[in-house]
Chain A
Amino acid sequence: MPFDDPAFWRAGAISTTVVMSIVLAMLTIDSLEAIAPGGSHVPPYTVINRHIDYAHNAKLGRDMPTIGQDEPLFGRAVEAPEAAALIERGKLVIQSRACIDCHTFMGNGAYYGPDLTKAWLDPAWEAWAAITGAESREEAMVRFLMAPDQYATWQRRMPNLGISRDEAVATVAYLKWLASIDTNGFPIHFGRIKVSE
């Protein structure tokens, strides 16, 4: 009886593992293409020059980012290399301060602070713009990131992480680009958005 023979099960274990690994490898190739900047799910870094929003797509039945008119950060459009440099710097700031051990990005990380996937679109920046005396959303974000403990909205504060102005600008660029990624509808009901299209 083959079921009684460990060799039978060993062959089964090896073949299952090999098949599953091959399928995973193929899916990985396809997914990496989709999530490369400029791929089907992730816009190029220069998207930070555009207006970004998040709306319910009735056809797909889920929330989706929308990319609109020109709306450069701080009113100054950047070329691709500069955009890439900002993103690189922004990611380094995020890693060097371990933001992900308080916050989540696309739902991954720690749960002490709010999810940052759509932080760029958070209505709270209007209030923060008033408190920080900033003219624009990006300026309000920069001021907040440089001194979050001074502009706290509730008892659970974000600490001052010694972020310089340049670092804060790069981080804001990063968060704006992050908001443009198509995350299959996560987070849901963001700001209880309205139906579009």
Chain B
Amino acid sequence: MSRSKSLAVKYLAAAVLLFGVMTLAGLASAVYYINPDFLFGFVPFNVAKILHIDTMIIWLLMGFMGAVYWFLPEEFGCEPAGIWAAEILFWVFVAAVLAVAAIFVFVQWGPGTETTLWLFQQGRKYVEAPRWAAIGVALVMLVFAWNVVGTALKARRITGVMAVMSVNMVPLVLLYLIAFPKIDNMAVDLYWWWWLVHLWVEATWEILIGCIMALAMMKLLGTSRRIVEGWLYVEVALVLGTGILGLGHHYFWIGTPDYWLGIGGFFSALEPLPLLGMVVHAVYDAGVHRMKTSNQPAFYWTLAEAFGNFLGGGVFGFMITLPQLNLFAHGTQWTVSHGHFAFWGAYACGVLSVCYIALQEQRRLVTVNGSGWVWAFVLLNGGLIGMVGSLLVAGMAQAFFERAIGGSTLEAFIAGQENPWFMLGMYSRFGFGLMFAAGYLTLAWNLSALGRRQVAAVPQPMPAE
């Protein structure tokens, strides 16, 4: 196996491990809603939650990198230009993630000085990592971008998919720089922070996963490159055409002028349209190929990606995106419901699909089968759908009792949180969270055990790691 592919396998393995840490931290955060005394005084809610969402960003990023390093040698017919740097940085990245996690758990906070932002944490959602670590992440992404763009230059050829990916590297890296500044004015701070959060996840990440899925489809179904590239361009046009100004759905209430109500509502209401097109596409592929592929799990996870992206982003996003309704639902468990469904559907499922593709080749399996992956698939998706359903109930109760009926004060907040519907949502979210965690364990076991027995029965040369 090429060096790039070995590195990809490392990235994917690290991603799956971190996915486990994320699940554990998510469960811990969820317990707090049921029993607020849980770990109080040792690991407060915010620390558990920071671990949860930061590991989510990191494992998905690692998954994307793993996917890209996997496909790079095939696209260009040579090793990436800076593979040595990427290999070193992988270990630096892993060490930094461990160090930051330790700081979050054991140091937790520092005095209100810039030093705290440099050494311990920055206290901005999703990008809490201290600046020294953020520099590391920026470096990793720079090398990643260089390996995509630089390899194209080295190979003196470019494919359409890689061209899109290369151009997309520029905003991907530039937007991350928003993780650094300290801006006193909260309105301005949030204004730029949303560029990082929304424009990453609803623009650059969508393009990146679109490229990865395009490569995956060529591999899984043998779709021709010309077709895949045509689709990719259409998708880019639609996703960016609606998603760039769809950013406005986060500018309703942060102090920005009210023209954002119209602009944000309008463009984000269009966002589900391209997602519906992807559903049709998925049905077409599934139907034409009659679900016949040598890699069932990878194929099913790509289907889950198309449907999850549509349901989580399209359906759950659309419920709360018009300003008159967002005024009530804004910043409630309803947001959490949408956030989980969308991130899961749009990105996590895609990364898991690539894991199975890589595994098939690495372990030299003619077909990927068995029932293990089915269990993992059902438990994870079932657990997730149960969680977002529970959160929807809780979110509706919160919006209703705290905002629409209540007066949005501390008293109204408490009334909403203690409402039986809300509590029901919190308990059942935790229950489905356990189901999800069982799915994770099955997945981890399946990924590590898959094909090993076959290898033992029919001796094969071990793939070079």
Answer whether A and B touch in the complex at a CB cut-off of 8 Å: yes
Whether the Cβ atoms of B32 and A188 lie closer than 8 Å is: no
Q: Name the residue on A nearest B231 (C-beta).
A: A9
Best-buried of B184, B245, B336 by chain A (most CB within 10 Å): B184
Whether the Cβ atoms of A88 and B184 lie closer than 8 Å is: yes
B370 within 8 A of A: no
Whether the Cβ atoms of A186 and B109 lie closer than 8 Å is: no
- Chain A positions within 8 Å of B256 at CB level: 31, 34-35, 41
- Chain A positions within 8 Å of B44 at CB level: 102, 159
- Chain B positions within 8 Å of A23 at CB level: 245
8 Å CB contact of B327 from A24, A92, A185:
A185
Whether the Cβ atoms of B111 and A96 lie closer than 8 Å is: yes
Q: Which of A141-192 contact B (CB under 8 A)?
A: 153-157, 159, 161-162, 164, 167, 170, 178, 181-192
Q: Name the residue on A nearest B233 (C-beta).
A: A9
Q: Which of B148-188 contact A (CB under 8 A)?
A: 160, 182-188
A18 to B58, CA, bound (A): 29
A48 within 8 A of B: no
Whether the Cβ atoms of A32 and B112 lie closer than 8 Å is: no
Given known contacts A13-B233, A16-B237, A40-B257, A97 and B123 CB-to-CB distance under 8 angstroms: yes
Best-buried of A95, A115, A119, A190 by chain B (most CB within 10 Å): A95
Q: How far is the CB of B91 from chain A (nearest CB, A)?
A: 28
B356 within 8 A of A: no
- Chain A positions within 8 Å of B186 at CB level: 91, 105-106, 178, 181
- Chain A positions within 8 Å of B330 at CB level: 107, 186
8 Å CB contact of B254 from A94, A96, A108:
A108
Given known contacts A24-B247, A186-B327, A190-B407, A96 and B257 CB-to-CB distance under 8 angstroms: no
B271 within 8 A of A: no
Could you give, for residues 213-236 of chain B, a 1 whenever the CB lies within 8 Å of some chain A CB and a 0 otherwise? Answer: 000000000000010011001101
8 Å CB contact of A20 from B41, B112, B128, B245:
B245
Whether the Cβ atoms of A190 and B408 lie closer than 8 Å is: yes
B253 within 8 A of A: yes
8 Å CB contact of A92 from B112, B237, B335:
B112
Best-buried of A6, A101, A167 by chain B (most CB within 10 Å): A101
Chain A residues close to B by CB (< 8 Å): 4, 6, 9-10, 12-13, 16-17, 20-21, 23-24, 27-28, 30-32, 34-37, 40-42, 84, 87-89, 91-102, 104-112, 114-115, 118-119, 122-124, 153-157, 159, 161-162, 164, 167, 170, 178, 181-193
What 6 A-B pairs are tightest by C-beta distance, nearest first? A95-B123, A107-B331, A9-B233, A186-B253, A101-B46, A187-B408
